[in-house]
Structure 1
Amino acid sequence: MDNEQGGPSPLSDILVTDEVIAYMDKRGGDFRISTSCSGPVLMPVRIRPAKSSDIPLRAGDHVIFISKYQIQWISEINMRMVPRLLFEDGDYGY
């Protein structure tokens, strides 16, 4: 999914929290933000594969692919976007 000039470039308008980067480091791989009935969700691409229409965002050593339908509504990617069923002890800070 990376473009040929060295991968996705940062989208400076979107903040990725340190907790999300730590979460991705712990699990490895890239992630995707897609649409769910409860709003945007952050899922590993092995569960929710990226689409060719997604917009890539570099976050630490990972890429977050953002659905073109969600990109206009997102200003921050935080742990509220991670479905609780994927949490391990200590993942959710509050």
Structure 2
Amino acid sequence: MEGVVLCSRVVGRGRRGVQAGVVNGCAPLVVKHGEMIEDAMKTQRLATADLLIAAREQGARRFCDIEYAVLEADGTLSFFPYEGDAGAPEKPASG
């Protein structure tokens, strides 16, 4: 299983400027270098069809053009394409 998780921390302040609470949210990585991380998807109960639909809705033409995708704390998916027009790196020829 991939051990990569993106984390964020939000600090809230009350009326008196005192820290009212801390909210930690971790966004699990569900796509890495154009390939689904099936263990993470299973853990998050994310269907392949839902991932593909969300990618199309956010303008991804080819799945291999997505460098990373994370499942946000609110249930939405965020996609990060490769920088520029390079797309996914070529796989080395076998043999």
TM-score normalised by the chain length of structure 2? 0.27
Q: Looking at both structures, which has the greater relative contact order when contacts are Cα pairs under 8 Å and sequence separation is at least 6?
A: 1
**Computing the radius of gyration over CA atoms, which structure comes out larger, 1 or 2?**
2
More strand by share: 2
TM-score normalised by the chain length of structure 1? 0.27
